[in-house]
Structure 1
Amino acid sequence: MKEPIFLGTNSWPDFLLSSEPNEWVQDPLGKDFQHQTLDFGTDAEGPAVATLVRYRPTGWRNRLGRKAQGVVLSIHGWSDYFYNPELATFWHHHGYHFYALDLRHHGRSLRTEHELPGYVDDLATYDEELNASMEILRAAHPGLPVVAQGHSTGGLVLSLWLARAKPDIKALVLNSPWLEFQGTAFLRIPMHGLMEAITRTNPRRKLSGPEFDHYWMSLSDQAHGQWDVHRVWRPRIAFPNTAGWLKTIFDGHAQVAKGLKLQLPIFVMTSDRTHIGTTYSPDMQHCDSVLDVQQTRLRSLKLGSFVTLCEVPGAMHDVFTSAEPARAAAYRDLHLWLRMVGSTR
């Protein structure tokens, strides 16, 4: 695969302005990317907006037209946003229109009023932007199948949305999905009860605890990684955890543990091993330093009846940000799986 294009996020603003309704505007990621604001009024944090990004390369030679095989809707993880142009070009090269959604209170959707970045007290809140994005995709590309793609917390959000709303999605691609709390239900269950108790009195209460920057160090080109990530949208220290947010994560994990019974092909990609520590280690460039991959694969089998597990040797938590040759292997395996399940017209 080609190396990612670094586009200088240091020159980007901390907060974007909202676009006019239904208006696509130039995205700072580059000339081939545009975005539009999805406005849902206000919530406890202030402006309730999400941002839909599309990849639309210029030039008639790059137009898919009748060659289009489908449409992709990609969702980021916690304390994250869409920043990977290589991922968009991969899907486009294989005949898919590519869209990515920055969820409310994340990335391009952050606003100065948001005191608690990333905060929601119910993952079903995201149904608004997911459903609105699907309407836009359907209107722009009628008749084409839609593939949903989610990373980490985004994988949990998508899985629960599919089980709850049952949108017309033909296939689900999960990149290191966060399906269980740090690898064990034995810890989640008592923690869930504690978060429920705190949430009844103060759901916005910040939870104190150790702060680690080792994943950022393995990712950012300002440290040991290869990726130019925004200082506010993908911060060195992740967004603060709150009782209400963590409770809704635990609610989602409990639903997955019971089984979601999804009726579509699911592709789950993880690294081949885990290295979780309190300080950065060079080994974290070649393994998952965030989640227990064994537990992720085990929980993935609770998603539905057609689950394919893909182990990518040497991959990081986000397999599509891994150093070569792991990143190329991840794209190769995804392409092979798409051909196998025939998630096209």
Structure 2
Amino acid sequence: MSSIQDMKEHIIRESDAWPDYLASTRAGEWSQDLLGESFECQSLDFGVDDEGPAVATLVRYRPGGIRNKLGRNARGIVLSVHGWSDYFYNQELAFFWHSQGYHFYAVDLRRHGRSLRSEHQLPGYVDDLAVFDEDLDAALSVIQSEHPALPIVAQGHSTGGLILSLWIARKSPGIAALVLNSPWLEFQGTAFLRIPMHGLMEAITRTNPRRKLIGPEFDHYWQSLSAQAHGEWDVHRLWRPRLAFPNTAGWLKAIFDGHAHVAKGMDLRLPILVMTSDKTHIGTSYSPDMQHCDSVLDVQQTRLRAGKLGSFVTLCEVPGAMHDVFTSAEPARATAYRDLALWLRLVGKIRK
């Protein structure tokens, strides 16, 4: 099996040449993904909803060559879910999971990334996070058809962590373990701020759920992430934009509904790893400190809410990590991968 360092040599960095919108693949067919060699994608088409074409996109990492095939040595499968205003681009993350013996898949949820279409006026919009259950159910069905009987680990970043947690609570899809990378489990400022804002969003949503919320816009997280600024990552101009997708009343109410569910306690019956930075630095403009802190969420609030997810929760603090711990600069990124690998081994022994 190749090392992560060997596979890094094949990282593609050319998203400036990518189109804004992709065409859907034929039903059930894999096609070459824009990430290049060994990455393929497949559209999951759900017809049309109130926002236009309803399509998600499943991406898989399938390296060629005998030495890269997992075969009977596969330990499981991972399904990765991105955050808000985001998509799957982190090839290194796929390399890591493969090096650990897992088949790697990622989903771009409807109206995100590869699943965006020109007809979509509100990228990322839903007024109920349960809408994404259809995307995740379909992705799971494809994965299980390709690798029956292997355990599945779900991995979610930020809003994706909230979406996955709620999906598992609602659907009991048989996920073996859950890895949450800086999950958005509570609104900034704690429930004391969320509760009155939740009521306000409910009132607005009753008349116009698609109403855009006017407020200040910041690009500091993009600056800490993008190779065009201070980060290391080649991110698409539309799929991971400099300014986040517009917030709407219906979408924010859906987020608050999810936070309220977490706050009540979810009783998830599976091992959960919650990874965060060791500190927070939230500001209105970019600062070099943001390369080594979570500049989006309050990590202490995240860690506090993590205990509401279930009874088997492991907290992992990664010194010097950013909001997405797997896009952090070294040595934080290496520490995150080391700790995740250790947790996977420990959980594997416990479950035997």
Both proteins in one fold, TM over 0.5: yes
Partner residue in 2 for 1:180: 186
Instruction: Tell me, yes or no, if structure 1 residue 209 matches structure 2 residue 221.
Output: no
| Pairing partner for 2:177 from 171, 181, 184 | 171
> Alpha-carbon deviation of 1:6?
4.2
Unaligned runs of 5+ in 1: none
Q: Deviations over 1:215-272 (max 9, x none)?
A: 0000000000000000000000000000000000000000000000000000000000
- Give the corresponding residue for 1:73: 79
Q: Between the two proteins, what is the percent identity of the paired residues?
A: 76
Alignment partner of 2:95 out of 71, 77, 89: 89
Matched, 1:190 2:196: yes
In the alignment, the residues of structure 1 paired with residue 89 and residue 316 of structure 2 have an alpha-carbon distance, to the nearest angstrom, of 23
CA distance, structure 1, for counterparts of residue 22 and residue 128 of structure 2: 25
2:298 paired with 1:273: no
Deviation at 1:103? Answer: 0.2
Contact in 2 for aligned 1:6/1:227 (Cα 8 Å) = no
1:59 to partner: Cα distance: 1.1
Identify which of 257, 262, 265 aligns with 1:256.
262
Q: Deviations over 1:35-61 (max 9, x none)?
A: 000000111110000000000011121
Matched residues in 2 for 1:255 and 1:282: separation?
35
Tell me the alpha carbon deviations over residues 164-194 of structure 1, each in whole angstroms, 9 at most, x when there is no partner: 0011100000000000001410000000000
With normalisation by structure 1, the TM-score equals: 0.98
- Secondary structure class of the residue paired with 1:97: strand
Is the CA contact 2:154–2:175 (under 8 Å) kept in the aligned structure 1?
Answer: yes
Aligned 8 A contact 2:39 2:61 in 1: yes
**2:115 corresponds to 1:121:** no
Give the total of aligned pairs: 345
Q: Alignment RMSD, CA only?
A: 1.1
Amino acid in the other structure paired with 2:139: S
Q: Give 1:242's aligned residue.
A: 248
The reply to whether residue 341 of structure 1 matches residue 336 of structure 2 is no
Paired residues of 2:12 and 2:36 also in contact (CA < 8 A): no
| Contact 1:183–1:296 (8 Å) recurs in 2 | no
Report if the CA contact (8 A) 1:53-1:100 is conserved: yes
Q: Distance in 1 between matches of 2:159 and 2:45?
A: 22
Alignment partner, residue 48 of structure 1: 54
Aligned to 2:17: 11
Deviation string, structure 1 residues 48-87 (Cα, Å, up to 9, x no partner): 0000000001112111000100000000000000000000
SS in 2 for 1:129: helix
Q: Distance in 2 between matches of 1:320 and 1:182?
A: 22
**Contact in 1 for aligned 2:154/2:179 (Cα 8 Å):** yes
Deviates more, 1:313-322 or 1:128-137: 128-137
Where 2:188 maps in the other structure, the secondary structure is: helix
* Counterpart secondary structure, 2:48: strand
The CA distance in 1 between the partners of 2:30 and 2:244, in whole Å, is 29
1:156 alignment partner, one of 138, 158, 162:
162
> SS at 1:114's partner residue?
coil
2:309 pairs with 1:300 = no
1:321 shift after superposition: 0.1
What runs of 5+ residues in structure 2 fail to find an aligned partner?
none
Q: Distance in 1 between matches of 2:119 and 2:220?
A: 28
Q: Contact 1:73–1:148 (CA<8 Å) still a contact in 2?
A: yes
Q: Give distance in 2, aligned partners of 1:202 and 1:305.
A: 39
Where does residue 227 of structure 1 map in the other structure?
233
AA in 1 matched with 2:224:
S
Q: Aligned residue for 1:20?
A: 26
User: The residue matched to 1:173 in structure 2 has which SS?
Assistant: strand
- Partner SS, residue 199 of structure 1: helix
CA distance in structure 2 between the partners assigned to 1:181 and 1:89 by the alignment: 32
Aligned counterpart for 1:98 among listed residues 88, 104, 108:
104
Which residue matches 1:39?
A: 45
The 1:20–1:340 alpha-carbon spacing in structure 2 relative to 1, beyond 3 Å, is same
| 1:141 paired to 2:154 | no
